[in-house]
Chain A
Amino acid sequence: MALSIKPEVLFNAGNFEVTNSFISYIFIILFTSFIYILISKKISIYPKSKLGLGVEIIIESLKKTCEDVVGTKITKEIFTFIFSFFVLILFSNLFGLMPFTGSIGIAHPKDESKSVSLGSVYVIELQETSHNEEKNKFEIIPFFRSPSADLNFTVSMGIITFLLIQITALKHAKIEYLKKFFDLRVPIYKGIKIIFTPIMFVINLFWRLLETVLELSKLISFSFRLFGSIFAGEVLLFVITSLTLGIGTLLIFPIEIFVSFIQAFVFIFLTLVFIKVGIDTHH
């Protein structure tokens, strides 16, 4: 495995570059759909199977968190979205920790000028062409890569979440929410002279501008938080493995699983908090 921020392109379908993270994403979608269908077939008022009970516990606890933050009314509207995002992000994070991810792939000649590859590459030869010494001149393009370690995935997640926050806040706070960004009226207080009105106007303008920037920065922080922590985890695992021959990896793996859960939870929890903040604008 060579470290790269860009996902590797496996093949081209017309103008569309099929990357390894895209293929992993399709696998995750199929897997989660399969689980959903399996559970929905067996659904009953009193859960009978262990799987049904476990899923019910997760849904109930997430729903309780959701109701604590935004209230019952809005929970009914957005809970489907919140839960499916939680599952999708959790599975994409955990997919990066699977044994086959990033280690099995196509070998191709190494680009010596910008190589940072550590560890060794085992090449299964389909044709008896390369000699033993030449095997170190190859690097691997893996078939699978965690979607969360691809910036395209996390940015699209961030954009959808950002739109959800804006639309929900607009729907419930209506004109009050827009006033937060576009209200340029200067408040008139007693005791402040009329000469200061232009200064107040400039301050007000600057304040509204800052509010807009603050709103847009949510998009960046959402996407880079997920990408940064998961990609850093993969790099950490890679470096530790090549330094300690796999013993240190045993210590890092539980931390990485914990981080996967925390990041998925933080993503949806921040969505809920930002929705709450957007609705409660009374100034």
Chain B
Amino acid sequence: MEELKYIAIALAIGLGTLGPGIGLGLTASKAVEALGRNPEVENKIRTLMILGMGLIEVLAIFALVIAFLIAFVL
């Protein structure tokens, strides 16, 4: 059972960061695109990008919390 626990931790964090990684990449690329089109609203784009990234990041952090739970509590 001990070996399976390590596999579970690795799978939880590995698969859990897959989706948010793609999402963060898309967010950043679209933000840079928007910045290229109209550079005068840089501040607004930056705040919105950070907000979006904050929302996406939670998903990865949920996976991380699950990994911690398996590692330290179970």
Contact = CB atoms under 8 A, between A and B. Distances in A.
Contacts of A229: 57, 61
Interface in B13-63: 47, 50-51, 54-55, 57-58, 61-62
Contacts of B62: 224, 228
B61 A3 contact: no
B: contact size bracket: 10 to 19
A189 B17 CA distance: 44
B72 A4 contact: yes
Nearest to B67: A232
A228 B71 contact: no
A265 B50 CA distance: 9
B64 interface: yes
A227 B68 CA distance: 12
A224 B65 contact: yes
A266 to B, nearest CB: 4
B11 interface: no
Nearest to B71: A116
A5 B68 contact: yes
A269 B73 CA distance: 32
B51 A273 contact: yes
B51 A269 contact: yes
Contacts of A3: 72
10 contacts: A3-B72, A5-B69, A224-B65, A227-B65, A229-B57, A229-B61, A266-B54, A269-B51, A270-B54, A270-B55
